Amino acid sequence: MKTVLITGGGSGIGRQFCRLFAADGYRLVVFSLVQEELDDLSAELRRDFPSIESVLVQKDVARDGAADEVFAYCQQQQLSIDVLVNNAGFCAFGDHVAIDGRRMESMLKLNVLGLTQMCRVFGEDMKRRGGGKILNVGSMAGYIPTVGMAAYCASKAYVNNFSAGLAAELADYGVQVSVLCPPATQSKFMATAKGDDDTGKAVEKFVSGKMFSAEDVAKAGYKGLFAGKRRISVTGMLRFSMFMMQLFSPDALANMTLKQVKKHKAA
């Protein structure tokens, strides 16, 4: 039986990934920060996929040393990971200088460092074994610097580009690395990202008008992963973003988003 490890699997896109892998007969190893989400997921899996084995663990994968601890846990449980889905992450809306420093640090640790370290420890194991798949959840936001979510966009730009570099490094060893670049998605994303200042509220309005379902995003990621794609889009949105990057400089793109945020502030 093949095994998939999914971070942030208790809700949203991660939860939909759990359902997709379970439907294909994978053993699930799911890490999430919120125990209540794991309890709910456990009940759902028992109901809808009674024959599937699942291991659900409450853990903060952004904490220092967490990736090594997760790998050690899998070794102790004799769980050889065939597919790693780095889905855990969050956003903080608002003027960068107004966002709480600890919240900002937590976001960057999870979105950047946690993902990077998980790729290191499990990528090394896959390289040694001569095969495996890694799917990192990036974002279209990584291609468009956006007012009111500057650090988040930068963190996802890191994920998008890190994934491309890692894919090239590991390809000769039979390890596939893909990055899913979704647009705004209907999930806990909005509730977690909510900002208290005027900019945060305006960005929330701006983003919420263009949202895809978590189910559709996960399906696109799943299909793209097993089609061997390195960069995975949802519909044609990614191609549009990359086209915009070719036409406009980062400064011009940021100024475009500034106009949209100001418009939603005035609304």
Could you list the mean pLDDT of each consecutive 10-residue stretch along the chain, which spans 267 residues? Answer: 97 97 99 96 98 98 97 98 97 88 95 98 99 96 83 95 98 98 74 62 61 91 98 73 57 61 58
CB 142 within 8 A of CB 159: yes
Fold type of domain 3-266: Rossmann fold (3.40.50)
> pTM for the whole thing?
0.88
Q: Give the model's pLDDT for residue 219.
A: 97
Closest to 22 in 3D by CA, of 83, 67, 78, 79:
83
Give the pLDDT score at 95: 87
Is 152 in the active site? yes
Set 143, 152, 158, 222: catalytic member: 152
